[in-house]
Every structure is written in structure tokens, then in C-alpha cells.
Structure 1
Amino acid sequence: MRATTNGELTKAWATVPDVAQAQQRHEAAVKLRRDFPRGRTPAQALADAQEAAMATFIGTGKWPSDFARTTAKAHAEALVWEAEANALYELERRTKESAEAVRDVRSVDVLEHLGERLKEILDAAKGAAETLGGVTSPGQAIDAGGDVLDAWRRLTALLREFRDVRDGQWEVLNAVNLDDQRARMRRWRAEGHGEIRSGLDDVPAPIRDVMRSGAYTVEYLAWLAQSGTGYVPTSYEDLQDEATAGDLVDAFAGAEGPVDYSPMVRPPLTPKPAETYAHSSTPHLDHSQPAPARPKANATAPDRERTTTDYF
């Protein structure tokens, strides 16, 4: 499974039954493989049997009469052990791949859950943000004391949950998209996209700097809670729509009334007859027939400019 220490993301995955079941089966496969007793490979079993027989001969001068039977038994037991050990390693690998595949397929459900968690966090932060007023630092909150200090503490606690939601959002989006899409998402994230739906044009410069850096602060959380525009993209396309919304051209901008896009009708062109010169000839395509007559000239070729070859 993709390892994560993100508490919000772990809880989000657990809300999707298919993902939870796949995770449980992978964890069970890991436990089976770890609890499986250590053993010998067939090659090790043969080598150990040979060493024991040679040690007996060197010590007593007698070769073990049951060498073949003992060696065959050790080899057979090692083959059985190795077969099960290999099967358990393969089981662990397959259940991991299966669980990751299920996560990719159900990523929208997880992102939607993170979106709900973001809404819960921002709803809880809104009241504290209003209480905070113009306070923007811990020192100011301490000086104000009372409800303002409590509001600052409340926002500080919510900020940790908010960071986990945002980190989980990007972790899922990066996991389920291709390299070129991830490159675009990194660029959009560096521009501040993926935070709000209303566009970045009217966002105050200090707030936009936080969006670009991802270094979230209490002041930013308070602003976002009051703006009512925070969201979690549920797919690459969802993020793309928000990030490229300002790039769309309004075909009707500045137009007074409906714009007429019907095709323009132009008068037909009068064809110009081909120019035929005295030296022109009709192509002789079928040599089984007589050569066609020369066409009647209707134009004269202009005199060319003289070159040095005309004089020397």
C-alpha cells in the first residue's frame, strides 16, 4: 500500500468500503507472510544433509546407510516450505497492487470525503475568525486575551486538520494521474490554484502568497473560512477547469446584441482562360494515335532579360 502518515487521508480511505476491504486483505497477507516460520531452501537442505554425512564419516569412518532416505526427506520438506513461502510473498505483492488499484478507481469518493471535511473545518473556523477580528499574530491574541485568545487557539487546532486535508488532496491527485498531468498540477499549485473556486484575481496579495507556498497560517484559515470559496478538487479535470477558467475567451465580449456568425456570401469568380503561346504544344498521351495539332496561340511570351550568355 502507499504509505501515508496523513491522519485525514487514512480516515478518508476508511470511509470507502471497497478500499477498506482491500486494505484489510493486504494487511492479512502481510501478517501471514511475517508469521510464516523460517525454513531452508532445497539447495540449503541438500547442502546440510551432505555436510552431516561427511562429518559422520570423518568422525567415525562410516558413511550413513540412510543418507539417501534422509536427504530425500529433507529436500522434499524444503520444497514444500519454499513453495508456500514464495506463494505468500506473491500474495502480499498482489494484494498490495489490488488495493492500490481500488484506491485509484475510488479516488473521487475519497476526494469528496476530504471536501466534506474541509467544509466542516471551515464552518468550525468561521465563528472563531469573526471573533478574531483584526488579530493576525499570537502576540496580539495574548494581549487581547479572553474570547480572542480562545479563538486563536481554536483556529490553531483547526489549522493542523486543514493542512492534513490539503496534503491529502494533493497526495491523491498525484497518485492517480500521469506524469504530464502531475507536471501541470505542480505548476497550478505553485500559482495558488486548487484552493478556491472563485479565481485568484481578487485575492489579496498576502493571501495569494500563502496559496502559492502552501505555508498555511491562522490568518489564512480565518480568511478562507470567511470567504466561503474553499473547495477540494475531485479530479484532474475539476482542477483544470478552475485553473484555466481565466484563459477562456469571451466571444461575445463588447458585442451589442447577438453576434452574426453566418457565412459571408461573395460573388462568384470569373475564370481566366489559360494562356497559350506559339511554342505551346498539346501533350501526346497515346502514342498509338496521331500526334494532336498544336493549340491556337492566344498570348505572347514577354521578352526575357538578356544575360551574359547572349553576348559571349
Structure 2
Amino acid sequence: MATFIGTGKWPSDFARTTAKAHAEALVWEAEANALYELERRTKESAESTRDALSVDVLAHLDGRLKEILDAAKGAAGTLGGVTTPEAAIDAGGDVLDAWRRLTALLREFRDVRNGQWDVLNAVNPDDDRARMRRWRADGHGEIRSGLDDVPAHIRDVMRSGAFTVEYLAWLAQSGAGYVPTSYEDLQDEATAGDLVDAFAGAEGPVDYSPVVLPPLAPKPAETYAHSRTPHLDRSQPAPAKPKANATAPDRERTTRDYF
């Protein structure tokens, strides 16, 4: 093109040069399309595998959590009332060893909890993720037995997710820690307090039979002196005027008086 603009003539090999450039561009485009398609299919395959195995992954995390809590239970009993590293250092001996053991287990515990929420958020739609964020902010997804009897300072840790050695010791001794294996599993725990016991306070069986009401006496239609029977079929004679059985009220009439 530059040669033509400068001289007014095409170079003798311009067709071959252009064809070669076009062919090379097609090769590059085909490679780019193939890589894009490969990336798309690989991503879909990975997401499909993730979704299919999410229950297994969460079940594995639940088993790993139980192992961590079992290992932490003995150390938690050794701590006694120690809740700070300074107090553990002052106590020394077995108490300090137990604190160190719980500190190491706390890192693994945090990994399990992070993995739990990563998987649940990855395999659920936006609406469910929004609900899970609210439940997590309320402290759900940590224990199965509900939050009503949880000490206030422990519940604060559940809500914040800032796990401490004291919290791990409490959870290990409570025996209630778990990992939800699905959105429905978490929902059951988070909404258990919302369910109403229909039989609460009832003595014996509760009768939920439907109440049968007496039939209503039909009220005859009101027909006035100005009423007319609709003439629906113009090919037939006009119907007779209906016999009046009511008197129009002495007020400005509305559609209710005619229909």
C-alpha cells in the first residue's frame, strides 16, 4: 500500500505477500480460538467436577475437623482456666506445652473453616451465598447444637471468625463442632430456632380437622322497576321485563344499583 501511494503502482509480488500475511494471520487466529475454547472447556470441566465432589470435600473437611478437635480436647483440659499466652508462660510446664499444641492446631482449624466457606460459596448461587453470609455473620456453621447456650464471648468469636486458642479449647470440649456438608445442612442448623412446635403445650393429640361451617342462605337478586333483561341474541325476540322485587333507594344511583 505504501508503494502504491508513493508510485501509483502495485509491487509485482503484492498478491503473494498479502496472501502470505493473511495465511499467517489465519494460523494465529486458529491457535487463539483453540486456546480460548480449551480454557473455556477446562474451566467448565473443573467447575463440574468441583460441584459433583463438593459433598465429598466437605465431608472430608468435617472428618479433618473432628481429628483436630479430638487432638485439642486433651490439651484443652490441661489448660484449665488459662486463656492468654502470658498466663500460659507464667504457668509453664504442661500448661505451656498444651498452649503450644493448641496454637499449632489452631492454624489447621482455620484452614478447615476457610475451606468450608470457600467450597460452600463456590457451589451455590448468589441468593444462597447472600443468605450464607448472613448466617455466618450470626455465628452459624460452627456447631450443631444452636447458639442459645453459647457464652457471649465465644459467640462473638463465631461471628467475627477471629478464632483464638480459647475458642478452640471451648469447641473441643463442647463436642458440637462440625462442618456443614451442603447448603441445606447449614440451612437446617441456621433456621432450627425459627421452627414452631405445633404441639407445644398441648395435652394429647391436637385436632387439626377442618371446621365445617353451615351453608350460607343465598340472597335473592334485587330487581328494580327500571331493570331490564339483557337482550343477548338479536335474532330472537326481546325477553320480557323482569318482575321487580326491590325499590331503588332515594339517592344518586351507582352501578351497584343496576348490576
TM-score (norm 2): 0.82
Shift in Å at residue 276 of structure 1?
A: 1.9
Residue 100 of structure 2 is aligned to residue 164 of structure 1: no
Root mean square deviation of aligned Cα: 2.8
Q: What is the number of equivalent residue pairs in this alignment?
A: 240
- Give the match for residue 141 of structure 1: 88
Residue type matched to 1:199 in 2? Answer: G
- Give the match for residue 237 of structure 2: 290
Shift in Å at residue 225 of structure 1?
A: 0.2
Comparing 129-138 with 96-105, greater Cα deviation is found at 96-105
- Give the match for residue 227 of structure 1: 174
Q: Alpha-carbon deviations, 1:76-104, whole Å to 9, x = none?
A: 89977886686466545533442232122
Shift in Å at residue 260 of structure 1?
A: 0.8
Segments of 4+ moved more than 6 angstroms? 68-82
- Give the match for residue 209 of structure 1: 156
Q: Structure 1 CA distance, aligned partners of 2:165 and 2:149?
A: 20
Q: Identity rate of aligned residues, in percent?
A: 89
Residue type matched to 1:272 in 2? Answer: K
When residues 77 and 288 of structure 1 are mapped into structure 2, their CA distance, relative to the original with a 3 A threshold, is closer
- Structure 2 unmatched ranges of 5 or more: 1-14, 253-259
101, 105, 108: which one aligns with 2:48: 101
Q: Helix, strand or coil: the match of 2:58? A: helix
65, 82, 87: which one aligns with 1:118: 65
- Give the match for residue 187 of structure 1: 134
- Give the match for residue 260 of structure 1: 207
Residue 76 of structure 2 is aligned to residue 129 of structure 1: yes
- Structure 1 unmatched ranges of 5 or more: 1-67, 306-312
Residue 143 of structure 2 is aligned to residue 196 of structure 1: yes
Q: Structure 2 CA distance, aligned partners of 1:293 and 1:165?
A: 86
TM-score (norm 1): 0.69
Shift in Å at residue 146 of structure 1?
A: 1.1
Comparing 145-154 with 93-102, greater Cα deviation is found at 93-102
Shift in Å at residue 74 of structure 1?
A: 10
Comparing 235-244 with 159-168, greater Cα deviation is found at 235-244
Q: Structure 1 CA distance, aligned partners of 2:137 and 2:169?
A: 21
150, 156, 163: which one aligns with 2:97: 150
